[in-house]
């Protein structure tokens, strides 16, 4: 379940961009970044980058996280659904645990099927979301 959540967060990260500011001037290769420069980190693009995640970067493959986040791709800093570094989300562990609990409760009581009318069309309006909603056929599971 953990690998499924991590792969879902990689493919459909809620925050598609992260804002950062250079607190000091720095040179990265030939690029000089002056102090105070505001930068946007394109999380969605990084999460789909084939040079980082492999040729299957656009595919749903939870097993890529079977050895943890650090070995899922070429650079463990490339996985940032909760941001990264000292300013990352303080509630990320709680959010992951909560998601696992809720999913376990739902999956133990219901079956889920996408409606035949579903059209996959993610769009970004502040967060990544389905353009046409997600019509789901939900049936109560009876043991």
89-97 long-range CB contacts below 8 Å, 24 or more apart? 96/2, 96/5
Q: How far is CA 126 from CA 3, 14, 17, 20, 78, in A?
A: 25, 9, 9, 17, 21
23-27-28 Cα angle (round to 5):
110
Please check if 89 is assigned to a binding site.
Answer: yes
Q: Which stretches does DSSP call E strand in 25-71? A: 26-28, 31-33, 38-42
**Binding region for heme:** 89
Binding site members: 89
């Amino acid at each position: 379940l953990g690998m499924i959540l991590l792969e879902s967060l990689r493919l459909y990260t809620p925050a598609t961009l992260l804002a950062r500011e250079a607190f000091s001037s720095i040179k990265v290769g030939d690029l000089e970044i002056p102090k105070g420069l505001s930068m946007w980190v394109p999380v969605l693009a990084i999460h789909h980058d084939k040079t980082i995640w492999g040729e299957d970067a656009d595919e749903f493959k939870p097993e890529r996280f079977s050895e943890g986040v650090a070995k899922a791709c070429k650079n463990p800093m490339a996985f940032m659904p909760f941001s990264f570094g000292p300013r990352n989300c303080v509630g990320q562990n709680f959010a992951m645990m909560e998601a696992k609990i809720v999913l376990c409760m739902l999956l133990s009581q219901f079956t889920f099927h996408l409606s035949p009318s579903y059209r996959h069309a993610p769009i970004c309006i502040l967060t990544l979301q389905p353009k046409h909603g997600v019509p789901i056929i939900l049936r109560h599971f009876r043991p």
